Chains A and B, each alone.
Chain A
Amino acid sequence: MRDISFGQYYPVKSYVHNIDARIKILITLLYMVSVFFITSYTAFAGVFLFLTIVIAVSHVPYRTVLRSIKGLLFLLIFTAIINIFFTSSGNPLLQIKIGKLMINITDQGINFAVKMALRFSLLVLGSSILTFTTTPTELTDALEVLLKPLTYIKIPVHDLAIIMSIALRFIPGLMEETDKIMMAQKARGANLDSGNFFKKIKAMLPVLIPLFVSAFRRADELADALDARCYNASNKRTKMKVFKLKSTDLIAFFVFVAIVVLIFLDKYLVGAFVPSPDLGSFEVQGLDIFIYNLLLKIKVLIV
């Protein structure tokens, strides 16, 4: 129960924690888009270095951040293998025959698979920094502010935000409740973690039913409590904490924009000016061309 680390707030004080949640969300969105524009290995290394520095500044231990990727490791390896097997373009390196099926493993396939895996881990790591350093309340508040323009096309942003923050607020309570009920049923000899998948699901019923009952009870109580305070989701509500941009927020934003610009320069500019080496259908991209040429020169020097 306690080892779900993806999206868990890590309570320490740091510069990254301090950045305005709205800016952090914008940066994360921008980051997620630009990760798909990273093409060269040099750029990947650069972004990884950037993340490492951000994590160091955020005072969240590397181990904790890396744990968020652990749960997705299977997915990562699975997609990489699929990519290797089913990319047929590029120079073939190896041919495998399975029955009538011919599988070509090409350099382009491996290149593609590795880059995909790198991209995927960058996405997970980057977005988990947001959730590690921002409390769920800050997140929903910031989202509400950012989505405000949608109220003009009659989307009830405030209601959605309150629904989200209530849902988030319930998660720790429900986790604790699950823990308690699991313990209570284990004390009655319930076997919750053996047997095959279907047996496990059946064994979870004594946990799930009381959990649902208590979730409904809690929801009822909360609704009453909201009613008792005359809560209504009108637009005229004021906030206890009003977001105010600080100069440090702007600095963070511009540092990040600079990095995005570098990513785009790497993808579009370098290739336009420096000719890519001819390696058949394999393509060397961006700053990798310089590295490749450098390695070639070193090789020539040694030989």
Chain B
Amino acid sequence: MPITIRHLSFTYSAGTPYEKKALENINLQINEGDFLGIIGHTGSGKSTFIQHINGLIKPQAGEIEIFDLKLTPEKRPKVNLKALRSSVGMVFQYPEYQLFADTVAKDVAFGPKNLGLPSEEVEKRVKQAIEMVGLDYEAVKDRAPFELSGGQKRRVAIAGIIAMQPKMLILDEPTAGLDPFGKEQILNLIKYLKTHCSPTIVVISHDIDEITRFANRIVVFNDSHIVYDEPMQQLFKHSRQLQKMGLDIPRAVKVVNSLRARGVDLGEDIVTAEDLIKAVVARYNEVHSTSLDENAGVFDMYDFSQKWLTTEERQMLEEESSSEEAPIDKSIKSSEVSEDSKK
């Protein structure tokens, strides 16, 4: 069942000099299975918007339909917030700052316990969630969350949310403040969660290169309004307007745009680095009538660590940012790097 938001408006501290409009007449439908990216600069209303979906803010005007629940400005009927929060999981910015329990297992159990589940079920879910985020359950369950590394803490915090097994997951800046390797691991985790835990995912991010790696649809917030709501491939037709709003566009799009300005047109649908490489190789083949493999040697930071580093080097990287290999690696298809490019 889709999530429908109609005519949603919200103003902070209405009627005081601190008054600030955050949302104005927002209409949006989020379909099941969507991998939705939300972009917009600070203060554009995107955080307020996602807090509405989780029932953390009561709508001032308009209504929200989530699964079979309905949120309205009226006081009655009372919304079953517990049901809402068990079906919509919300990972805030810097989620590791919300850790409080003395052991990892207890912290992850906080959510499912609040749902009133029986203790065996809670335990089962905790184990499942910790393993899902790529940590070794036996090794971390009795450790204090504050002893873990930054990346690990964040994954424990995310485990605390997915232990509630939400049908939909919202993440606010999930990679903020992590090093490139930690970032990569979180991004892969999100991809993994999409297929194994929550089929609908909404991600807020400032890093457009990051969002384009997984989103299939992007919503752009500007000045309390939704200005664009388009499939990922189509959004960057509006590159000029996005840049005018102070938003970044993917590096690949920048390259394609500036090549076009110099008279080289690689086509419209290029958004990610992979798209760009493929297009360039295809053009090369065309011009030089060669038949190079378009799909060879495409890699990201994570693939890089898997293929180019020795085991010790990789281990050092993981110790520093976050230990343990995610089970995710198996689910990621990385194209083979040819012997030639290795040299």
Which residue numbers of A lie inside 8 Å of B, CB to CB? Answer: 2, 10-12, 64, 180-181, 183-191, 205-206, 209-210, 213-214
Contacts and interface: CB of A to CB of B under 8 A. Distances in A.
Given A10-B17, A183-B51, A206 B110 contact: yes
Nearest to A209: B100
B92 A183 contact: yes
Contacts of A2: 13
Interface string B1-24: 000000000000100111000000
B153 to A, nearest CB: 11
Contact of A191 (B54, B99, B114, B160): B114
A257 B160 CA distance: 62
13 contacts: A64-B16, A183-B56, A184-B97, A185-B98, A185-B110, A189-B86, A189-B110, A189-B111, A206-B110, A210-B97, A210-B98, A210-B99, A213-B97
Interface residues of B, number: 27
A213 B102 CA distance: 13
A213 B146 contact: yes
B164 interface: yes
B110 A187 contact: no
Contacts of A184: 90, 92, 95, 97-98
A181 B164 contact: no
A183 B95 CA distance: 11
A188 B95 CA distance: 11
Interface in B93-116: 95, 97-101, 110-111, 114-115
Contacts of B97: 180-181, 184, 210, 213-214
A189 B82 contact: yes
Contacts of B218: none
Contacts of A214: 97
A190 B16 CA distance: 30
Contacts of B100: 205-206, 209-210
Nearest to A207: B100
Q: A-B pairs with the 4 shortest C-beta distances?
A: A189-B114, A209-B100, A188-B111, A187-B90
B161 interface: yes
B125 interface: no
